[in-house]
Amino acid sequence: MATATHYLEVNAPAAQCYQWWRPLTHLPQILDDVKSVEPKSGNADVTHWVVDGPLGKQIEWDAKIIDEETDRKIAWKSLEESNNHVETGGAVRFDPHGDTTGVEVSLHVTTPGGAAGDAVAKLFDDPQKKIEKALEEFKQLMERSSQNV
């Protein structure tokens, strides 16, 4: 199982940070391997993920928001019935500090054994580095949009 957690301060209010994350559909803007996250069947709590995998193949799965507190946290996990051979999930927490927000993201991935597992494991190689880069990009997005308000 691969896990990664990263925390940083963002110069934007918690509500703004939460609203950006809530649909999960913006994640391709900050996570290079994620090609799309789209609501499934009009249900905002269930999303279909498409991620670039090794050898030019894409890996897909469905995920559901399993825990949520407005302006404070969002947690999601892949659905077993999406038959993705990958168990993945994540959470983002927002700690409001007035005009700034502490943002913590944690991701975990459990891959199957065998050749399929090896291919998926390469996709999630160095998750800590990827999540740190993604959060830095999120911080820049939020701070740019805060300045334009």
Beta bridge pairs of residue 67: 75
Alpha carbons within 13 angstroms on the beta-carbon side of residue 67 total 9
**Is residue 122 pLDDT above 60, yes or no?**
no
Please state, in angstroms and rounded to a whole number, the distance separating the CA atoms of residues 19 and 15: 6
Q: Quick one: tokens of 45?
A: 């709590």
Q: What pLDDT does 124 receive?
A: 60
Q: What is the pTM of this model?
A: 0.86
pLDDT 10s digits, 57-95: 788 889 999 999 999 999 999 998 766 667 889 999 999
Query: N- to C-terminal Cα distance for the chain?
Result: 41
Q: What is the mean pLDDT of the chain?
A: 86
DSSP state at residue 118: H
Q: Each residue of 5-61: pLDDT tens digit? A: 999 999 999 999 999 999 999 999 999 889 999 999 877 899 999 988 767 778 888
